[in-house]
Amino acid sequence: MRTARLVLLTLAVGLLPMVSLAQQDTYPTLRAPKGVTHVVRTPLPNWQVGDIDKALSKLCSVGQFNQKVPFKYSGSFTGPNGSALVGGAKGTGLNLFDPFKKAKADRDYWFHRDRTSNCIVYWARVKPGQTAPAGS
């Protein structure tokens, strides 16, 4: 009996990180980490931030196209559908890890679930005259 309890406790403790990751995806936190610069706050769904780039999403999933500092620049999508916190980077290299030089300078990149195998990279064209966020 004691051995069975020990085995169950060991299994439960081992599964805790997996449970918290699953809950995090299901119930995304909309609080920004300390030191984050919010670029966008909107009730729109997160998929309206830009167009999905499947090739860059695959690279993101394997750690080859990511934010240098997750959520340093972020967008909060708080509506009833598509609520999420996405991290941002600029195609010019601001907050962007891009060893294969796939980014285009005239685009902003937004990362949903960065540093996971389910990463989605969105892109949006930079408007003429748009500057980098303050403090960059």
Domain-by-domain residue ranges, the chain? 1-30, 31-125
Task: Specify the pLDDT at position 34.
Answer: 61
Bridge pairing between strands 96-97 and 66-67: antiparallel
Query: Lowest-confidence range among 16-25, 57-66, 91-100?
Result: 16-25
**Spatial distance between the Cα atoms of 20 and 69, rounded to a whole number of angstroms:** 22
Task: Specify the pLDDT at position 126.
Answer: 87
Digit-coded pLDDT (tens) for 108-136 = 999 999 999 999 999 999 887 665 554 44
Residue whose pair of structure tokens reads 């920004």 in the numeric block: 32
Structure tokens at 8: 């169950």
Q: Is 49 exposed, middle or buried (0-12, 13-18, 19+ CB in 10 A)?
A: buried
Digit-coded pLDDT (tens) for 11-60 = 344 433 433 333 344 434 445 456 667 777 889 998 899 999 999 999 99
Task: Specify the pLDDT at position 98.
Answer: 98
Which pTM was predicted? 0.68
Distance in angstroms between the alpha carbons of the first and the last residue of the chain? 59
Task: Specify the pLDDT at position 128.
Answer: 75
Query: Lowest-confidence range among 2-11, 37-46, 60-69?
Result: 2-11
pLDDT band, very low/low/confident/very high, at 103 (cuts 50, 70, 90) = very high
> Would you say 13 and 5 are in contact if contact means Cβ atoms under 8 Å apart?
no
